[in-house]
Chain A
Amino acid sequence: MQKINRNVVLALLSLTSLVFLLFQLCYYKFYLSQKNGAAFSKVRGSQSGQDSTRWHVVRKFLGLTSGHNIPVYLIDPLILGLVDKDIEQIRSSPDGPSPECKYFCAPRDFTTFALLDKTWKHEVGLFRTAEKMGFQWLKIINKDPRLDGMDDLSGMEIPLHYIFKLASHAIHLVVFYERSGNFLWHGPLRLRQHMDRKFVPFRKLHFGRYPGAYEKPELLLVSIDDLKVQIPKNPSSFLEEMSHSRFLECRYREARAFFQLYPDDASPDAVEFRKKAKSLLHLAALTLNNLGVKFWLSSGTCLGWYRQCNVIPHSKDVDLGIFIRDYKADIIPAFQNAGLPLKHKFGKVEDSLELSFQGEGDVKLDIFFFYEEDDHIWNGGTQAKSGKKFKYLFPKFTLCWTEFVELKVHVPCETLQYVEANYGPEWKVPVKTWDWKSSPFNVQDNGVWPIDEWDNVIQIY
């Protein structure tokens, strides 16, 4: 009897301890295995894959935000990339259960979501609930750029990014703000002194290296991996937008310093010109955007943006640049339909093309086409009466977004080099008399058009 008893007791004990240990392992995996999470899920040998840490964290996070009526949407480029491949299928079966965990189970450090600032009320309650659910969170705040251009206003700092961390996974929540010019903006992610630099591997984040500008996305509610989540309606165009979304803020402080040195011209003429230039720029942007032609602020307009965050009142025209590879024959009729007659056309698509349209009341719209070479970019100029050709050389540049006169437009990211190439090191000093043939710093003679081509390359209306 005794023997049997001992054996039974021993067996029971071992069994309970084994069960207990297994339970511990599960528990451990869910809540604490920050580094070993993957290892533990292997131990489980999960077939569906949906119990991976990432999926659980995302599910919890979505529960948290929907519980507080916060409409977040998914902008994670890796997941959107996968989703884009199956977009038709996902669209057609918004509610179907998914057989396997395709999107949210790949082991990653982050999943990125976006939030439109105006759609929530900054409730503290969200963070309390998040803490109760086991999230650790980090808020990155900074100055409000919408007030930055203003003299001496100090608003409250605004949240730009949130990071919610649970177990080995983190949710990066990017806060988007509406800006003048009808676009969305997100800020850069910059850590302050006291912040925990090891909270998450910040370098691996997809958003936050630079500020970014986006169109307002149309959203679509889908069910992927059994999670209901909002995504941009067209993931591929969102990803395309993301790849060149970098945003440059105007240099408001330097602009203020400039106006201290050279007080702004507030004469009725200047006010009137600025108003016209602004509406011309709006019209031009609308026309070119409709055609899908990428353009940027060039010459004087670019200088105005860079130096004083405004239109230079004595510049008398609006200058845009377009890469010749983006040239479309529709450009001229499109502008004419918009009420801007062609004033002159110099050069040809192969060489030194330049278009000029007549805006309202003497304000001219100049469009320069830029030709890319191996180590530089150039655009051409033509003197009508002599047929002389000129060439303006610029170092290579890429394009960034900025906000200018309530418009989202491109400027060269390397603006200083661009402006210096064009106006020389003294670009900070306003010059009222300007000769386009000799004043620019980067002008070169480029020969003369052959007489027999004049009819084609010099067209004045």
Chain B
Amino acid sequence: MDEWKPNPTVKPHKKRSWYLAWKYKLMNQRALRKLCQTGAVLFLLVTVIVNIKLILDTRRAAYEEEEESAQDYDDEMLNVEAPRHPVNNKKVLDVEVYSSRSKVYVAVDGTTVLEDEAREQGRGIHVIVLNQATGHVMAKRVFDTYSPHEDEAMVLFLNMVARGRILIFTIKDEGSFHLKETAKNVLKSLGSQVAPFLSWRDMWTFVGKKGGEVYGEKHAKSPALSTWGDPVLLKTEVHLTSVEDAECHWPDTELNRRRKRFCSKVEGYGSVCSCKDPTPIEFNPDPLKDNKVFDVPVAVIAGNRPNYLYRMLRSLLSAQGVNPQMITVFIDGYYEEPMDVVELFGLSGIQHTPISIKNARVSQHYKASLTATFNLFPDAKFAVVLEEDLDISVDFFSFLSQSIHLLEEDDSLYCISAWNDQGYEHTAEDPSLLYRVETMPGLGWVLRKSLYKDELEPKWPTPEKLWDWDMWMRMPEQRKGRECIIPDISRSYHFGIVGLNMNGYFHEAYFKKHKFNTVPNVQLKNVESLRKDNYETEIHRLLGEAEVLDHSKNPCEDSFVPDTEGKVYVMFIRMEQEADFTTWTQLAKCLHIWDLDVRGNHKGLWRLFRKKNHFLVVGVPASPYSSKKPSSVTPIFMEPPAKEEGAAAVPAVAAAEQT
């Protein structure tokens, strides 16, 4: 017991005697030694007990901690997942699919997941994708395969669906007229026996697993051209697999957790949910040097077109200089799927209870979104406004960063827009060139806060006025003679072909051939010349050096402009007063540019490119630039063709889509 350490609190001399006495006793008294031994054993026991208690406490604390944090997650999960778990513990799903001329429906375990009996709507093949582990609806689509090209879209969609998903097909009205061989083969490869022979007005239902078994198929042939096949009702059972089998095994990172959440809910987004080689959802584009728009909030205005939103956000997040923290997506309505897309990219989204109808609804959504944007970012002087059906150019933010100071300093400016209404493949050439125009193009633009707060917001059209917000913004009462800055080559691309005022034909005619900049880091040319007075000097310089074209030729013909490159040409058209666009409209029509209303003008001057030459059009005598017309030249006049009924109505509707 030599190593026994003395009690430091006891005084030295006392301690020594006590210690000696104790030692003596210990050495000599067996009984005491025994006692001491017992004491030591007891001491050991206490240690052991303390130990055990410690272990128990640690475990309990750890357990509580887990439970605590688990609860926090639970709460979030519950909110989102709860409505999607109606059939969680079942192993078998009862599926009912009905196909007929005027009605289709699909019920899963007694819950109707699709019902369409609206007239003149929903024609074609309806496709529903179910999660093979949970039975949740992951995607719902209808492909009007009575019309051309829709079968291609269907093939594209079916190819994107992950293996193992459950696919349900049903035809409403007619679904075979434009169902081509390729599409039929895809259906056949899914296990359909009937698909290759599907014909005019047949009724058809099919349930199968992608890359696996067939759960059922029913078909009713149409007896004659003028009649439809009998309605068919398919009832079948689908066996669910385990959740593990239905999920991919990506490394556990924050990104992949978002991906997993997304991919277990929705289908039809292609390689983002691929198990082997998923496409990235974080892009980390190069930052911009001296980025003046890094702190400018970006409002993305969205409806219920989640696939569009997905494409749009991908391009936006890939643009150089993007700051994801400043992006807010405003969804018009309580749609889940667009919100899922927003969450996939880790952005913030806000849903908006729809107010009013049609165009007024869009208008109210815009107002709410803009107000909210400036509330959320009270320091911001500007906001970038984008829509869900736009591709964003890689140098979008670079373009804005170089030009935004103009909007701050030049009161005669209304906006900066990324879109040139007249910038088609054959009429735009120079990515570094900017224009001033009297029209407001929209489609990716910057709004000044003071303009919104002081002028627009207080008198924004109320819900009962069924106005388009953009048409309203273009009205002289709002625009007050101010202009917008636009690039020659657009920094956004309008890809939406489904929309309020939009359809495939319209898109093909007016949007498809729009030029879109793909060059990064374009250095804009002479930005200072865009200021109000500088621009006039610039135009006069341009007109001074421009070669006057031969006005005896037909301006619609290609030979009107010589086969040169990099020259400046000018032509004069007749324009009696400021609002006389008769000749311009005809010219725009034959040049295949925007002719539905007047766009891209500046004081009776239009600037575009033809055959890689800068091409100026001056309206005489309304334009102040008319003085540049040599006296020998007679302005060209083009007469509109004899008016057809209805021709006038089209522009009004179509123009509205320029939102």
Q: Are A152 and B368 in contact (CB under 8 A)?
A: yes
Q: State whether the Cβ of A439 lies closer than 8 Å to any Cβ in chain B.
A: no
The docked-state distance in angstroms from the alpha carbon of A423 to that of B56 is: 66
Chain B neighbourhood of A149, CB < 8 A: 375
Q: Is the CB of A121 closer than 8 A to any CB of chain B? A: yes
Interchain nearest-CB distance for A89 vs B (Å): 35
Bound CA span A7–B378, Å: 79
Is B120's CB within 8 Å of the partner chain A? no
The reply to whether A31 and B355 form a contact with Cβ atoms under 8 Å apart is no
Residues 591-649 of B contacting A (Cβ, < 8 Å): none
Q: Judge whether A136 and B375 touch: CB under 8 Å.
A: no
Among B3, B378, B454, B459, which residue has its beta carbon within 8 angstroms of that of A11? B3
Task: Give the chain A neighbours of B368 by CB distance below 8 A.
Answer: 150-153
Complex CA–CA separation, A136 to B325 (angstroms):
27
Which of the segments B106-114, B153-161, B345-353 contacts the partner chain? B345-353
The chain A residue sitting closest to B44, CB to CB, is A17
Query: Is B2's CB under 8 angstroms from A11's CB?
Result: yes
B43 at the interface (CB under 8 A from A): yes
Query: B458 and A17: CB pair below 8 A?
Result: no
Is the beta-carbon distance between B375 and A180 smaller than 8 angstroms?
yes
Cβ A180 vs Cβ B348 within 8 A: no
How many Å lie between the Cα of A21 and that of B43 in the bound state?
A: 10
Q: How far is the CB of B420 from chain A (nearest CB, A)?
A: 33
The CA of A180 and the CA of B371, in the complex, are separated in Å by: 11
A131 closest partner in B (C-beta): B69
Partner-contacting stretch, out of B47-55, B390-398, B433-441, B501-509: B47-55
B50, B334, B355: the one contacting A21 at CB < 8 Å is B50
Q: Is the CB of A178 within 8 A of B379?
A: yes
Q: Which residues of B contact A271 (CB under 8 A)?
A: 458-459
User: Which chain A residue shows the least CB distance to B74?
Assistant: A194
Nearest A residue to B258, CB-CB: A124
B652 touches A (CB below 8 Å): no
B254 surroundings in chain A (CB, below 8 A) = 123-125
A156: chain B residues at CB < 8 Å are 348-350
Chain A residues with Cβ below 8 Å from B379 are 178, 182
Which A residues are CB-close (under 8 A) to B2? 11
Residue of A nearest to B60 (CB): A32
Query: How distant is the Cα of A18 from the Cα of B43 in the complex, in angstroms?
Result: 8
Contact B348–A155 (Cβ < 8 Å):
yes
Q: Closest chain B residue to A216 by CB distance?
A: B379
A136 shortest CB reach to chain B, Å: 5
As a 0/1 sequence over residues 34 to 76 of chain B, the CB contacts with chain A under 8 angstroms (1 = contact) are 0011001001101100110010011001001100110110010
* Whole-angstrom CA separation of A216 from B350 in the bound complex: 27
Taking residues whose C-beta sits less than 8 angstroms from the other chain, chain A's interface range is 35 or more
Within the complex, the shortest CB–CB distance from B477 to chain A, in Å, comes to 9
Whether the Cβ atoms of B54 and A21 lie closer than 8 Å is no
A15, A118, A124, A266: which contacts B459 (Cβ < 8 A)?
Answer: A266
Task: Tell me, rounded to whole Å, the shortest Cβ–Cβ distance linking B382 to chain A.
Answer: 15
**Nearest CB of A to B625, in Å:** 34
**Interface residue ranges of A27-82 to B (CB < 8 Å):** 27-28, 31-32
Partner of B350, one of A147, A178, A274: A147
Least distance between A386 CB and chain B CB atoms (Å): 40
Q: B378: which of A6, A151, A178, A275 is its contact (CB, 8 Å)?
A: A178
Is A14 an interface residue, CB under 8 A from the partner?
yes
Per-residue 0/1 for B310-337: is the Cβ within 8 Å of any A Cβ (1 yes, 0 no)? Answer: 0000000000000001000010001000
Closest CB of chain B to A30's CB: distance in Å? 12
Interface residues in A256-285 by Cβ distance below 8 A to B read 266, 268, 271, 274-275
CB contacts under 8 Å to A, within B231-270, are 254, 257
B54 contacts A24, C-beta separation under 8 Å:
yes
C-alpha gap A121/B36 in the complex (Å) = 63
**Which residues of A lie under 8 Å from residue B546 when comparing CB positions?**
none
Contacts of B275 in A (CB 8 A): none
| Contact call A7/B1, Cβ cutoff below 8 A | yes
Cβ–Cβ contact B54 & A153, under 8 A: no
Least CB distance from B177 to A in Å reads 43
Contact status A181-B378, CB under 8 Å: yes
Judged by a CB distance under 8 angstroms, whether B4 is at the interface is yes
Contacts of B364 in A (CB 8 A): 151
A137 interface residue per 8 A CB criterion: yes
Using CB atoms and an 8 Å cutoff, list the residues of chain A in contact with chain B.
6-7, 10-11, 13-15, 17-18, 20-21, 24, 27-28, 31-32, 118, 121, 123-125, 127, 131, 134, 136-139, 144, 146-147, 149-156, 178-182, 194, 196, 266, 268, 271, 274-275, 406
4 extra A-B contacts, CB within 8 A, seeds A147-B376, A150-B375: A155-B351, A182-B378, A194-B71, A275-B458
What 5 pairs between A and B have smallest CB-CB spacing?
A152-B353, A180-B378, A155-B350, A146-B375, A271-B458
- Contacts A/B (CB < 8 Å), 27 sampled: A11-B2, A11-B4, A14-B40, A14-B44, A20-B51, A21-B50, A32-B57, A124-B254, A127-B69, A134-B65, A138-B68, A138-B72, A139-B72, A147-B372, A150-B372, A151-B353, A151-B355, A152-B353, A153-B352, A153-B353, A153-B372, A156-B348, A180-B374, A181-B378, A194-B71, A196-B68, A268-B459
